[in-house]
Amino acid sequence: MWPSGPARSISPSRARLAPAAHALQAVLATWRAMSMDRLRTSGIVGYVAIWLLRPVFELIAVALIYGTAHPTRLRYVVVALAANAFVFNAIFYVSETLDRERINGTLVSLFLAPCPRFSWLSGFTLVGGVETALIAAITLVFGHIAFGVTYHPDLPAVVVALALFLAALWGLGYIFAAIGLLIKKGNQLSNLVYPFAILLGGVYYPVTALPGWLRYPAHVLPLGYGMQALANATLYHKGIGDLAPQLLPLAAFALVLPCAGMLAFHLLERIVRVRGELDLY
């Protein structure tokens, strides 16, 4: 009988890297599967019409409203509409992820998958992030070509403002996702929330243009701060110090809302476990 060889030792660094590698594989696998499903569902023509032509028609409508009488406002709205693509993604994509998988009958399998929850959640989010980044780019390019909007960006300020804005939206999206799944009305919740985001978020006009009584609820949302910071940094080369009135509140939202989103997700899972009804997903 041959003697057994010495067991191979696994270095602590490789042991630590293994879960991270598995999580990354889950993110990429989820991203590929969801991307193919969206293309298969909409078709190439439908996909292009929805995600590429929509920002063009939105900008044409805005130009008809403001025309040449309000060039400053038109420039602001071009950048704000590009930023609003990420708001649209958070409300209509991220917030509906869990309830959509429940309807498709796949959420139970996802929760039972041997990988961290954030991995497949991040994969789903990545699909929407790629789409909305493309919409934002088309909006900015079309605004420059069709309406002569010129950009003078301060890149560090743009990066900081965008990072804080996306972090706040990520947390907000998962709060709505937990609520939508709990009431089993994810899409209906999105359609209820979005008009308020348009009214109070500073998309078609800055928050400063709102009547005084509407500014109060607008200031308890991260949207207006993000829109104004991105517009100032992109159009007028405003630096991080110049954007402090917008970036400081936005940083607070970027810290609080992701924590609240993760807490809402864990509370939702706890509620289902206490009920012993995983199929409620």
Residue 146 in contact with residue 237, Cβ under 8 Å?
A: no
Q: How far apart are CA 92 and CA 176, in angstroms?
A: 10
Q: Which two tokens stand for residue 1?
A: 């009988």
In 3-state terms the chain splits into helix, strand, coil percentages (rounded to 5) of 80, 0, 20
Q: How does residue 140 score in pLDDT terms, banded at 50, 70 and 90? A: very high
Question: Structural domain boundaries of the chain?
Answer: 19-280
Q: How far apart are CA 155 and CA 166, in angstroms?
A: 16
Residues 15-27: what's their mean pLDDT? 63
Residue 106 confidence (pLDDT): 77
Going by C-alpha positions, the residue among 181, 163, 161, 162 that lies closest to residue 173 is: 181
Average pLDDT score, the chain: 82
| R_g (Cα) of the chain, nearest Å | 22
Q: How far apart are CA 172 and CA 167, in angstroms?
A: 9
Residue 105 confidence (pLDDT): 76
Whether the per-residue pLDDT at 1 is higher than 90: the answer is: no
Q: How does residue 42 score in pLDDT terms, banded at 50, 70 and 90? A: low
Residues 104-129: what's their mean pLDDT? 74
Residue 41 confidence (pLDDT): 67
Question: 6-10, 21-25, 95-99, 203-207: which has the minimum mean pLDDT?
Answer: 6-10
The residue to which tokens 């289902």 are assigned: 272
**Residues 50-61: tens digit of each pLDDT:** 767 888 888 999
Q: How does residue 183 score in pLDDT terms, banded at 50, 70 and 90? A: confident
Q: How does residue 12 score in pLDDT terms, banded at 50, 70 and 90? A: very low
Q: How does residue 76 score in pLDDT terms, banded at 50, 70 and 90? A: very high
Residues 151-161: what's their mean pLDDT? 96
Residues 101-123: what's their mean pLDDT? 74
Residue 149 confidence (pLDDT): 92
Q: How does residue 277 score in pLDDT terms, banded at 50, 70 and 90? A: low
Tell me the CA end-to-end span of the chain in Å, nearest whole number.
Answer: 55
The residues, any chain, with a CB within 8 Å of residue 147's CB and separated by 6 or more, are: 59, 63, 74, 78
Q: Which two tokens stand for residue 64?
A: 């008809």
**Residues 232-266: tens digit of each pLDDT:** 999 999 999 999 999 999 999 999 999 998 888 77
**What is the per-residue burial (b if ≥16 Cβ within 10 Å, else e) of 240-254?**
bebbeebbebbbebb
Question: 14-18, 102-106, 154-158, 258-262: which has the minimum mean pLDDT?
Answer: 14-18
Whether the per-residue pLDDT at 146 is higher than 80: the answer is: yes
Whether the per-residue pLDDT at 66 is higher than 90: the answer is: no
Q: How far apart are CA 17 and CA 14, in angstroms?
A: 5
Q: How does residue 110 score in pLDDT terms, banded at 50, 70 and 90? A: confident
Q: Which two tokens stand for residue 25?
A: 């594989």
Q: Which two tokens stand for residue 133?
A: 């980044």
Going by C-alpha positions, the residue among 91, 120, 64 that lies closest to residue 180 is: 91
Residue 107 confidence (pLDDT): 76
Q: Which two tokens stand for residue 258?
A: 């992701």
Q: How far apart are CA 275 and CA 4, in angstroms?
A: 50
Residue 7 confidence (pLDDT): 41
Q: How far apart are CA 96 and CA 179, in angstroms?
A: 10
